[in-house]
């Protein structure tokens, strides 16, 4: 079974600064997908960024980028130029391939607070 671990229960950052959230995972699969989802106080889960394991290039979405280290099974999220609206809980998630399509395994989450 896959496991996803987020070792930082809480993080804080000043507005306009950069913060990195950590995530490690464990799997025996070779093809899989990794995600970061954001859950703001409104509680709705929102996809932030997605990485396919067979792609070596790290995914980037505007101010959000990942550092994907397949051998180390590490998948960190970097948020640049942090904004107050980035305050939320962030979940790292894993999805295998084949019969696991659609089944996301989530980490425990990291609460990020952006201070003005």
Partner 1 sequence: DSGVTQTPKHLITATGQRVTLRCSPRSGDLSVYWYQQSLDQGLQFLIQYYNGEERAKGNILERFSAQQFPDLHSELNLSSLELGDSALYFCASSVEVRTGELFFGEGSRLTVL
Among 18, 55, 69, 103, binds partner 1 (CB under 8 A): 103
Q: How far is the CB of 54 from partner 1 (least distance, A)?
A: 13
User: What sign does the dihedral 40-44-49-54 (CA atoms) show?
Assistant: positive
Q: How far is the CB of 102 from partner 1 (least distance, A)?
A: 4
Return the range that interacts with partner 1 (CB under 8 A); candidates 12-20, 42-50, 56-64, 73-81.
42-50
Among 62, 85, 101, 116, binds partner 1 (CB under 8 A): 101
Q: Is 111 in the site for partner 1 (CB under 8 A)?
A: no
CB burial of 8-44 (b: ≥16 within 10 Å; e: otherwise) equals beebebeeeeebebbbbbebeeeebbbbbbbeeeeee
Q: Is 5 in the site for partner 1 (CB under 8 A)?
A: no
Q: Is 45 in the site for partner 1 (CB under 8 A)?
A: yes
Binding site residues, partner 1, CB under 8 A: 33, 35, 42-47, 50, 91, 93, 95, 97, 99-109
């Amino acid at each position: 079974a896959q496991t996803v671990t987020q070792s930082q229960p809480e993080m804080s950052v000043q507005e306009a600064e950069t913060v990195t959230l950590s995530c490690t995972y464990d799997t025996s699969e070779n093809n899989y997908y990794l995600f970061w989802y954001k859950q703001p106080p409104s509680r709705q889960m929102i996809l932030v960024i997605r990485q396919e394991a067979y792609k070596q290039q790290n995914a980037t979405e505007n101010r959000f980028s990942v550092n994907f280290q397949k051998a180390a099974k590490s998948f960190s999220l970097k948020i640049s130029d942090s904004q107050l609206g980035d305050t939320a809980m962030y979940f790292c998630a894993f999805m295998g391939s084949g019969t696991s399509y659609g089944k996301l395994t989530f980490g425990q989450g990291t609460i990020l607070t952006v201070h003005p």
